[in-house]
């Protein structure tokens, strides 16, 4: 009885039932009640996700705050991270509070500008620079592969990568490489990709069904 109340009723009520309602709302779009329920539940999920974000912020404060206070290796970077986090959060948070407290305040525009400046001139370029590093890490990985795994498969992999890269580059006299690249991408590449995605879809469905059938309960002791 205790197991029924403590384990099964919450599981069925908060996991299986909402899951089935959302799925039914998707599969039976003609039933407006189910569709409305689905939208409502999805909105609740968004609210929960927003609170989870707060948890994430507290986690960052805890982990990096401890790093700074205990002067562990790399504490200065943690301090910079905390400072950057507070600096980035201040303008939008202040704006959100002012919108409630003083909706006619002239500071709104300044805060909005500060937020967009932070995003456009600091966060976006930093993200782009980090993404640019990928070219180097991928190239390094290819070289490392030649060193550590010398096999026919490795040579074939690198040959295909080189062909596809060269085929994307507009080299005079080697225009035929573009056709080779197109063939690689559209025929064997696409076939492999479809097979992969089909397997992923099946794996996704099976895992979701395991949660629905309560075979898998990531939120409680099995």
Of the candidates 1, 5, 27, 152, which one interacts with another protein according to CB under 8 A? 27
Does residue 93 belong to the site contacting another protein (CB under 8 A)?
Answer: no
Which residues, at least 6 apart from 18, have a Cβ–Cβ distance to it below 8 Å? 41
Cα–Cα distances (Å) from 32 to 29, 36, 38, 39, 190, in that order, read: 7, 6, 10, 10, 38
Measured at the alpha carbon of residue 215, what is the angle toward residues 214 and 216, in degrees to the nearest 5?
85
In contact, 184 and 160? CB cutoff 8 Å: yes
Calculate helix-pair angle for 17-27, 190-212, nearest 10 degrees: 130
Query: Which of these segments, 5-13, 88-96, 109-117, 201-209, binds another protein (CB under 8 A)?
Result: 201-209
Site for another protein in 37-66 (CB under 8 A): 45-46, 48-49, 52-57, 59-60, 62-63, 66
Binding span for another protein by CB under 8 A among 4-12, 23-31, 109-117, 166-174: 23-31
Name the one range near another protein by CB under 8 A: 5-13, 25-33, 88-96, 97-105.
25-33
Cβ atoms 212, 14 nearer than 8 A = no
Q: Give contact residues for another protein (rule: CB under 8 A).
A: 23, 26-27, 29, 45-46, 48-49, 52-57, 59-60, 62-63, 66, 73-74, 77, 127, 130-131, 133-134, 137-138, 140-142, 144-145, 149, 157, 193, 196-200, 202-211, 213, 215-216, 218-219, 221
């Amino acid at each position: 009885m205790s197991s029924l109340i403590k384990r099964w009723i919450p599981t069925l009520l908060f996991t299986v039932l909402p899951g089935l309602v959302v799925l039914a709302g998707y599969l039976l779009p003609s039933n407006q009640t189910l569709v409305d329920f689905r939208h409502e539940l999805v909105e609740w999920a968004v609210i929960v996700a927003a609170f989870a974000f707060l948890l994430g912020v507290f986690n960052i404060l805890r982990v990096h705050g401890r790093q700074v206070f205990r002067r562990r290796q790399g504490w200065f970077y943690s301090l910079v991270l905390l400072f950057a986090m507070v600096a980035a959060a201040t303008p939008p948070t202040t704006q959100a509070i002012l919108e409630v407290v003083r909706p006619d305040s002239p500071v709104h525009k300044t805060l909005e500008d500060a937020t967009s400046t932070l995003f456009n001139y600091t966060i976006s370029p930093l993200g782009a620079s980090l993404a640019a590093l990928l070219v180097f890490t991928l190239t390094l990985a290819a070289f490392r592969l030649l060193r550590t795994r010398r096999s026919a498969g490795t040579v074939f992999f690198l040959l295909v990568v080189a062909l596809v890269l060269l085929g994307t580059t507009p080299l005079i006299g080697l225009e035929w490489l573009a056709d080779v690249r197109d063939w690689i991408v559209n025929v064997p590449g696409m076939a492999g990709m479809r097979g992969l995605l089909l397997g992923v879809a099946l794996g996704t469905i099976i895992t979701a069904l395991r949660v629905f059938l309560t075979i898998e309960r990531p939120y409680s002791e099995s």
